[in-house]
Amino acid sequence: MTPADPYSAPRIGVFDSGLGGLSVLRAIRQRLPRARLLYVADSGHAPYGERGDDYVCERSLAIAAFLKSQGAQILVIACNTATAAAASSVRTRYPDGLIVGVEPGVKPAASLTRNGRVGVMATTGTLRSERFRLLALAHAAHIDLRLQPCPGLAAAIESGQVDAGPVRERVAASCAPLREQDVDTVVLGCTHYPFVAHHIQAEMGPNVQLVDTSEAVARRTESLCAALPPAPVDRSPAAAAPARLWTTGDARTLHDFVERWLDFDCLIETLDT
């Protein structure tokens, strides 16, 4: 988006059960460098993928309300589990709002596979959801879809030590069944997983394609900016304001993760909600 675009400074609220949604935040910043980004990592209540739907819905509504109070014009649910459990409730609460959810990239994977066998790595909560069942029915009825729940992997990534032994062991345990089933495409069905994509690729081998939907979510978010009221154009260098990040968990862990993975300025605070 060019600096002269009148929609150059939308206020976008993004949330996830923890650190995983930072992969989506990073993609949004790349497409919308002048956007005012607001992010909540609900690390104090993570992982959502091992919680019940009612709990996830309650947390999602609370965080959505906080982001709206901070001026968010667009809400991005940067969590596959939260999208499956709570997107409809969030849309009901904000019927006039602009809301973007995240779903496993089954559709692009179905077009990429060469041998017709696609693996989906995701949380148990995502894979058991009705939303995922309908997604698979709509886009993967003609291929062999192999579902691989990854219990504990998102929680291990939450530690911030993505190259540590426990993380790599969980990646290896999740990838082994898919490798044995000879899948040639793997969907990263949790926004945490792109941060260990290098380990997943190493386990699966160089000929297996990984599908991450962060860029697609960023494109969808960008397209919704056209529905916002025109904003005054600010061409000053200071227009690219730091992203504001909150966590319900440990601020130091979030800070260290941001330092490693994000290349833009962030202000980090704790949140009690």
17 is in an annotated binding site: yes
Same structural domain for residues 51 and 73?
yes
Same structural domain for residues 207 and 264?
no
| Residue 23 domain flag | yes
214 is in an annotated binding site: no
| Residue 159 domain flag | yes
| Cβ(205)–Cβ(179) below 8 Å | yes
Rounded to the nearest 5 degrees, what angle is found at the Cα of 160, between the Cα atoms of 155 and 162? Answer: 85
pLDDT at 4: 39
Same structural domain for residues 111 and 156?
yes
Does residue 79 have an active-site annotation?
yes
How many independent structural domains does the chain possess? 2
| Residue 225 domain flag | yes
| Cβ(191)–Cβ(42) below 8 Å | no
Using alpha carbons, select from 191, 241, 198 the residue that is nearest to residue 215. Answer: 191
Select which of 79, 175, 225, 266 is catalytic: 79
80 is in an annotated binding site: yes
| Cβ(121)–Cβ(150) below 8 Å | yes
3-class secondary-structure state, position 270: strand
Same structural domain for residues 83 and 205?
no
State the residue range of the domain holding 237.
11-102+215-270
Same structural domain for residues 62 and 94?
yes
**Tokens at residue 217, please?**
């979510």
Q: Where are the alpha helices (DSSP H) in 129-239?
A: 130-139, 153-158, 165-180, 197-204, 214-224
Same structural domain for residues 79 and 170?
no
Does residue 190 have an active-site annotation?
yes
pLDDT digits (tens, 9 = 90+) for 125-142: 899 999 999 999 999 999
Same structural domain for residues 90 and 219?
yes
| Cβ(248)–Cβ(269) below 8 Å | no
pLDDT digits (tens, 9 = 90+) for 179-232: 999 999 999 999 999 999 999 999 999 999 999 999 999 999 999 998 888 765
192 is in an annotated binding site: yes
Position 233 confidence tier, pLDDT thresholds 50, 70, 90:
low
